[in-house]
Amino acid sequence: MAKMGILIDITKCIGCKACEKACKMRNDQPLTLDEHLSANAYTVVQERLPNTYVRRMCMHCENPTCVSVCPVGAFTKTAAGPVVYDKYKCIGCRYCMYSCPFSVPKYQWNKVVPYVQKCYMCADRIEEGSEPACTAACPTGASIFGERDKLIEEAQKRIKDNPDRYVDHIYGLHEVGGTSILYISNVEFEQFKAPFNIALPDKPLPMYTWAALEKVPTIVVVGGVVLTGIWWITSRRGEVEKFEAGSKQEHWWRFGKKQEGVKEKKEDKQ
């Protein structure tokens, strides 16, 4: 299946929050108006600048941090693009929340058996050949669903056709190795701050930890050899000492002279 994605055109968003509502209905969440992403809000529309609305949701990274950090592999990046969560596997360490560059995963803090919650790009609907509930509900076309490559072309075309209207930056094209959700905007992205963290490198974050992890087998092998070697040398030394001590002992037994010998020497000195 082709890689799907969502293109969010900030210039077109009117802040109607239809997507929020559609998402909540889809996921049986209480219909509240939320300001921030939470376990009950997979997407929110925030008025960041006067009359400028930013819709937030999981970025569905191409090389997702959450997938790489989870010790039990509860997250998977599906072939179609969505990053989905297996609530059975999860042990609740919350490393995914700590490390997600866009701080997307949220937690059910007040449940006895809590789960991580985040947008899953309506993966089941995509599989059925349909589109996510939120893009389907968007009245202005500010969020459109499609193949990621096509969306990129579309974004480039919009920027090229209206260079006065858009800043020349497709957010999500390269950031942290690319994301399935793409943004274009009339305002420099850094003015919005989160999630458009300008400090984020283009290198996928999992490569940072992999640089350390890939050394593990080397450390094990080299460490094992070196330590065994040191032990072998030191224990040989111990054995030699023991052996020498042993032969002395034997000498003393046989001739019964050791102590006398010592005494004689002392007397000599005196």
Partner 1 sequence: MVRIPKITFWRIIIAVIMVLGIYYTVIRYTQGLGAVTNLSDQYPWGLWVAFDVITGVGLAAGGFLIALTVYIFRIDNYKPILRPAILTGFLGYTLVAVGLLYDLGKWFDIWHAIIFWNPRSVMFEVAWCVMLYLTVLALEFSTVVFEGLKWKRLNQLIHMLIIPLAIFGVILSTLHQSSLGSLFLIVPAKLYTLWYSPLLPLFFFISAVSVGFAMVTFESFLSRRFLGKGIELNLLNGLARVNVLVMIFYLTIKIWDLAGRGVLGDVLSTRFESIMFDIETLVQVIIPLVLLLIPAVRTSTKGLFVSSLFVIVGFIMNRLDVAITGIEASSGAHYFPAFGEIAISIFIVTIGFLAFAFLAKHFPVFIEPKENEEEPVEIVHDI
Partner 2 sequence: MVAIMVAITIIGFVVLDLVLQAVRKKEEIAEKQVELEFSDFRVPMATFFYPGHTWVNILPTGDVHVGLDDFSRKVIGNIEHIEFPKEGRMLKQGESAFTVKSGSKTLTFLSPVDGEVIGINRMMLSNPAEVSRNAYGSGWVLNLKPTNLSVNLKAMKIAEDAVAWLKVELRRFREFALGENLQHIKDELQYEVGRTSQDGGFLTEGMLGRMDEEAVKYFEKEFLGRKE
The CA distances from residue 77 to 28, 83, 105, 108, in Å, are 24, 4, 15, 22
- Cα dihedral sign, 170-176-180-181: negative
Binding mask 115-144 for ligand SF4 (x = CB under 6 A): -x-xxxxx---------xxx----------
Residue 87 interacts with partner 2 (CB under 8 A): yes or no: no
Residue 90 interacts with ligand SF4 (CB under 6 A): yes or no: yes
CB-nearer residue toward partner 2: 111 or 266: 266
Binding mask 230-269 for partner 2 (x = CB under 8 A): -----------------------------x--xx--x---
The partner residues of 184 in beta bridges, in order of sequence, read 9
The partner residues of 41 in beta bridges, in order of sequence, read 38
Exposed (0-12), middle (13-18) or buried (19+): which is 231, by Cβ within 10 Å? exposed
Residue 57 interacts with ligand SF4 (CB under 6 A): yes or no: yes
* Residues contacting residue 92 through CB under 8 Å, at least 6 positions apart: 114, 115, 116
Residue 245 interacts with partner 1 (CB under 8 A): yes or no: no
Beta carbon of residue 199, minimum distance to partner 1 (angstroms, whole number): 4
Q: Is the separation of the CB atoms in 54 and 46 below 8 Å? A: yes
CB under 5 to 8 A by kind: which of partner 2, ligand SF4, partner 1, none does 134 bind? Answer: ligand SF4
CB under 5 to 8 A by kind: which of ligand SF4, partner 1, partner 2, none does 213 bind? Answer: partner 1
